[in-house]
């Protein structure tokens, strides 16, 4: 089967699976499990107690006078978005392997609402290597976001308002209206939602190691696959290595691997200009002033208080904490690899080289730069086309094989 055929068949199978199902024609079984977030209380806006339990600190409740929009679904406090608190994690594994002893956790990109794009990736990784692939939805993405955020009619109205002044904004669309509105109003959401995901991932891995996933061996090797912003989260997990749970893990970054300020997410599919600029501006100010205007975020970015979570700030801006970041990457030599695309305008290859290999190219982390012989973008690296079907499939299999070769090395 070619890539577009695998995509079509995997999408049909994934959409049809409610809990567990085997698909012999695809060579995989799909298993879905409900997971309840433990990372939201004390972190997300709307919680009755914004606090750090570890240091027994309470923080003033977040109280913004800026409404996200006139649409109620975007103004619900983050802690009360139920879809984000109880959600589905999915395991795709070879149908002839009862219990996997090798697992890849796959992290998607920014502003994603469906797993469709990633299903062929999971299929290839699973069937080619007899690994299990766990699809993890980042906070407020995939099925962790309210359906209204994907409602074309409702979001089109918001996008029109955001696009009224073309001199101040660009790339506003119904696809990015929700995330753009929320991020512009409160850019720190990137950290707090990421911290929720961070804690939940730790809980999932600890549950696996405790034998609570009957399809994954407790002693299973766990590697990471991060695409785009998923690479950002994965890198922080590798840098922090909470409770040493990723000491033997490897991370493959696809279309990622750079600091946030060296990514360019302005796109009708990701984030509009006003939101992207607001995010960069706020984090630049916070870093320059040592988080003086946000004591709660400053607490979590204090390495003496939170040596693990504070790696986040080293990945915000290339010229901040560069020495600390590059020293940590030296410790991770051989355990991180990036594959980036020559014509990627969102995640430029040179920025992955600058970040992962360092300013002097003295860090032995491999960054593979590829260019495909068909039209592609950051958002659609493998087009669902029949015209270039053979070339797309070849590029796809080579990319996944690059990841598998790295994991096996």
| Per-residue model confidence (pLDDT) at position 66 | 46
pTM over 0.75: yes
Max Cα-Cα span within the chain? 60
Give yes or no for a contact between 266 and 272, defined as CB atoms under 8 angstroms apart: yes
Strand, coil or helix: what is 397? Answer: helix
Residue 58 CA to residue 369 CA, distance in Å, equals 46
Give yes or no for a contact between 123 and 135, defined as CB atoms under 8 angstroms apart: no
Residue 407 CA to residue 350 CA, distance in Å, equals 24
What DSSP character marks residue 215? T
Residue tagged 């109280």 (tokens): 63
Q: What is the mean pLDDT of each run of 10 residues along the chain (409 residues)?
A: 97 96 97 92 86 88 51 80 96 97 98 97 97 98 94 93 82 96 93 96 96 96 98 98 96 97 96 95 95 94 96 96 98 98 97 97 98 97 94 98 97
């Amino acid at each position: 089967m070619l890539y577009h055929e695998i995509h079509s068949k995997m999408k049909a199978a994934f959409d049809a699976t409610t809990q567990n199902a085997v698909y012999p024609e695809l060579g995989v079984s799909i298993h879905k499990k409900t997971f309840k977030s433990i990372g939201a209380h004390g972190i997300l806006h709307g919680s009755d107690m914004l606090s750090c339990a570890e240091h027994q600190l309470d923080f003033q409740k977040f109280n913004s006078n800026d409404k996200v929009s006139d649409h109620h679904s975007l103004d619900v406090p983050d802690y009360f978005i139920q879809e984000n608190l109880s959600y589905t994690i999915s395991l795709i594994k070879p149908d002839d392997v009862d219990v996997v002893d090798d697992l890849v956790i796959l992290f998607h990109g920014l502003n994603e609402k469906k797993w469709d794009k990633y299903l062929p990736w999971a299929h290839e990784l699973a069937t080619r290597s007899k690994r299990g692939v766990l699809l993890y939805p980042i906070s407020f993405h995939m099925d962790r976001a309210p359906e209204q955020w994907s409602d074309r009619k409702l979001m089109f109205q918001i996008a029109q308002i955001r696009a009224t002044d073309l001199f101040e904004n660009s790339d506003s669309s119904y696809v990015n209206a929700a995330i753009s509105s929320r991020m512009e109003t409160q850019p720190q959401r990137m950290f707090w939602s990421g911290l929720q995901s961070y804690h939940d991932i730790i809980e999932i891995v600890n549950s696996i190691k405790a034998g609570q996933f009957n399809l994954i061996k407790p002693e299973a090797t766990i590697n990471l696959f991060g695409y785009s912003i998923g690479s950002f989260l994965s890198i922080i997990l590798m840098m922090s290595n909470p409770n040493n749970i990723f000491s033997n893990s490897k991370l493959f970054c696809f279309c990622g691997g750079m600091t946030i300020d060296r990514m360019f997410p302005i796109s009708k599919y990701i984030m509009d200009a006003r939101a992207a600029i607001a995010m960069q501006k706020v984090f630049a100010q916070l870093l320059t002033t040592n988080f003086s205007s946000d004591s709660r975020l400053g607490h979590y970015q204090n390495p003496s208080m939170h040596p693990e979570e504070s790696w986040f700030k080293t990945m915000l801006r290339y010229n901040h904490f560069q020495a600390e970041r590059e020293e940590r990457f030296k410790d991770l030599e051989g355990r991180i690899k990036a594959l980036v695309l020559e014509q990627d305008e969102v995640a430029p290859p040179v920025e992955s080289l600058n970040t992962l290999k360092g300013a002097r190219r003295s860090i032995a982390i491999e960054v593979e730069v590829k260019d495909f012989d068909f039209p592609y973008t950051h958002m659609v690296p493998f087009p669902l086309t029949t015209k270039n079907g053979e070339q797309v499939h070849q590029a796809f299999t080579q990319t996944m094989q690059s990841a598998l070769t790295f994991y096996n090395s």
